[in-house]
Structure 1
Amino acid sequence: MKINFNKSLLLLSALLAGNKLMAQTDSLSKSDYVQPFAKGAQFRTWSIGVDGGLLTPYTIFRGHDDYRTPNSNVGYGAYVRNQFSHSFAGQLSFFRGNVEGTGPVPSAEASIRDSYKTQINYAVDLSGQFTLANISWRNQQNAIQPYFSAGFGLMGFQPKLRAVGTNTEVDYKPNGSVKAAYIPVGLGLRFNLGDVVGLNVGYQVNFVDGDNFDGYTIGSSNDKFSYAHIGLEFALGKRSKPQLVRHNPVNSMRTEYLVKDMQLQNQLDAERAANQQLRNDLNNTNANLSALNSKLTADSDGDGVPDIYDKCPNTPAGTKVDGAGCPLAPAKIIITEEDKRVVREAIKNLEFDFGKATIKAHSYASLDRVAEILMNKNFSLKLAGHTDNVGSDAANMKLSKDRAEAVKSYLVSKGANESRIEAVGYGETQPIASNKTAAGRQKNRRVEFTLY
């Protein structure tokens, strides 16, 4: 099995990563959510795994070393990992297998060697693993976790050499295996297959501390070989807890913000509902008080005495009543000559703008005196408006009514009781002189005042 198989495996992994890299799971149970900055006890941090793959002296850094043609052999291993944080874990790994190559580069020994096969009896290393791309805010867990690793290990291996022209293998070190340190550097992708199981695809280059891994020492560089592997990983611990390596802290912070925002919104909604209930209770109380106040102050007949105290309901409008709402005995009204003179003077001085109901200013003084006696003596007053026969009957009737109303409005504005003043219009229907002459028409344009 040649190095082309290694390249195909790496290409397949890259295609898988291109389709799914940074992808994350969309649906999670409630148990998958963990508050930001939660302690490690809230997660599953331990896991174990087994893997198998290809061992070859070919690496992505500088190809093969002492032999021209690297071959591929099957290797297998296992590991245990503890995830210390979202991005860093410690992993203890073990693997073994065979590494083989043929055709050594030219040297003094090339004429006597044809190939080698190094049996790795054990390789144990402790490495730090850095998980990448687990800070997307969209989902709580990452479906794929890319990672990079580096560490230090010890291995025991036994190179076997094959001489040129023979199939005889000779141990590089007949008395036992060679022991050497090595530095593993790798990268890979971890795929979620479920709550417990994951698929781990990786590629690791192992830098050996020495140039005798292939039983052939040439030049000044150390030997190295690669291990491309795929395997299954099993999370340990309670399934109710999420795995720390899959967990997305940024999404947890976003979720926490949304939860707090929802809680605050619910609290505000509850407070608004409580305030609305208080408002409704207050409105009901105000309505009850308003109804009670209306009942206490209702005055159906308008005599100034509330109904609950009114012993004489339905008193006619304008009737003077006592404290119990009953009519007072009418007082005798006496109209003096002076009162009549004030009224005559007001009639004499009353003038309007031509064709209008606007009172001229020089009429105000005499009307003020009429308002004064109406207030002081509580007289009633009838105002009767009249016109000549110039114009239509309807227009004259309206003008006479408007002029009488204008006088009433003025007297009321000076303090007279509106309910004791009556304003009517007769138009041209009650002339007191002939409308054939200017003097007669002048007399017919008038407003009569009647005290009673």
Structure 2
Amino acid sequence: MKKVSLFVKAAGLALLASAGAFAQYNPKASYEGPAKLNTWSVSIHGGPTQFFGDLREYDFYPVGQTNIDSYNERRSAFVGVAVGKQLSHLFGLQLGGSFGNLVGMKRRIYNSYFRSNFIQGDLTASVNLKSLLFGVNKMKRWKMDAYGGVGVLGFKSTAYELGTGRVRRFTKNNLGDGVLREAGYEADWVIPVGFAVHYELSPRFDLGLDFRVNHVNTERLDATIGGQENNTSVFDLSGARGAFDNQLTRRGNSALDKYGYGAFMLTYKLGKRAIRVQKVNGKYEYDTTQGVYHLRWTDPRSLIKPPVILTLEQIDSVAKANRPKDIDPRLLTDTDNDGVSDYFDRQPNTPAGSIVSGAGEAIDFDKYVSAALPGVACAEIFANVQFDTDKNIIKPQYHEMLNRVVELMNKTQCRLQLSGHADRRASDRYNVALSRRRVEAVRNYLVQAGLNDANRIVIDYFGSFKPVGDNSRPGLQKNRRVELRLVP
């Protein structure tokens, strides 16, 4: 009984473990994770811009007024939109586009200001610093991203003289009709880097602040190539002002231009049945049955339920709850060893070696075979062939019975199931092989006796795993057997 109890407990634990494994794995997930998560989002953002280059009065603080020797550097802004794809909880991609304007001035050396309109498209990759540095379980409603990427900037810029507003330079010209004028946008590479902070307002919307610096691969963003030796914004009294000569270098003695911005960002998280993690009794808990979380805010590992370590009392309780009902012992008892359980056996004490019907009643097999009509199905019939110790030789006393089995099968549509068995006096491996040799011996005898269709024979062999007798001499003799079961 102890062995049975341990087996039931082990089976109960295996069922619990397998159920938990299937609950945690979703083969249709779009990433490596235990449950489906939403991964796409759309953002709109906008705010003031700030230029950094030659026509810039101060390093950071912009001039805020326009007069005879100043120009307001705060009259610049942009708007943009971006589509985001979260590749994992820590990493994502954003494809963005924006347009706006830039303004800057400088009194010393240049005595000029400029205005520029720009259009930019870029692809950036972001890393979730909040989860990376502080962990996924802290600051659940906050997200901090550092990002960088590459893009293309199209710009059209014009530099003017402070005070008079006369044009000094612009980025492109058109002399096709003999008139000097601005002709369109100039394009160059740009490398954006930045930092963004987001707060999760609801399952659909996030609000954020975005701070970015765009490093442009040109010094002409302010229509000026800086430096003492090549000061291209100086007003030329002879009228040679206008667009850059194509022969001029792309840069002078100063650094490449760049511009930055600070922006408000509103993000809409795409996907079906959007939800966010809720706080229950002071602790954040995930429930994937309520909807779909977003990968921006949810680490897939958080959705894996920790394993439950059961106590021995709990294991025993689970085993008892899942234990099948006891089998009626009458179904396991076959007193006369005729192949029919005592529960169904109408004649439970048939003599040894009897051939019985499906009801356990002894029949005159010879008369049954003689009376059988050709081509019809037969009734269910049971018989046994017993063997000597460690032998698979069929005793002569069974030859006549087996010959009649062949006659019945050739006359009717009967099928035959053969099951080989052995007693317990050897290893399991040996007994299985021995029971196989015995069942094959019976099958070969039937074929050699003239069986027309051997495909109607089904064989099984069980070694000593299905005994019908004990370890006494008569019991061991009962166990050394091949069971024959004729079925329709």
Higher Rg = 1
Q: If each structure's helix is expressed as a fraction of its own residues, which one has the higher value? A: 1
TM (normalized to structure 2)? 0.43
TM (normalized to structure 1)? 0.46
